[in-house]
Amino acid sequence: MRSYWWHAPCVVSLGRLAVFGVQRFDPSHLKALSLLPLGTIPYPVGVEWSLVYEVLFYVVIAVLAAAARWYLSTLRVNFIHA
């Protein structure tokens, strides 16, 4: 199972190299990989724009859920000790 995590990226990288050839590194690729809404960014495939908003939505929901859980646990402790 552990060798999978080493071999899978290697196979994907070699397949990409075989299909697309060597491409020049562009700093905008790092912005595209971050999936943050950073304005107009040229995405490699072109359909990532919806994934950016989906990831942002789930990050916001996760932060709100964690804050609500912390608030409710604090409220419960204060109610029990009151």
DSSP summary character for residue 26? -
Question: How many domains does the chain contain in total?
Answer: 1
Q: For residue 64, what pLDDT is reported?
A: 93
Total number of residues shown for the chain? 82
Whole domain around residue 54: which residue ranges? 2-81
Name residues whose C-beta falls within 8 Å of residue 56's C-beta, 6 or more positions apart in sequence: 36, 37
Stated pTM of the model? 0.50
Each residue's pLDDT tens digit, 14-61: 887 888 777 777 777 788 877 777 878 877 777 777 888 888 899 999
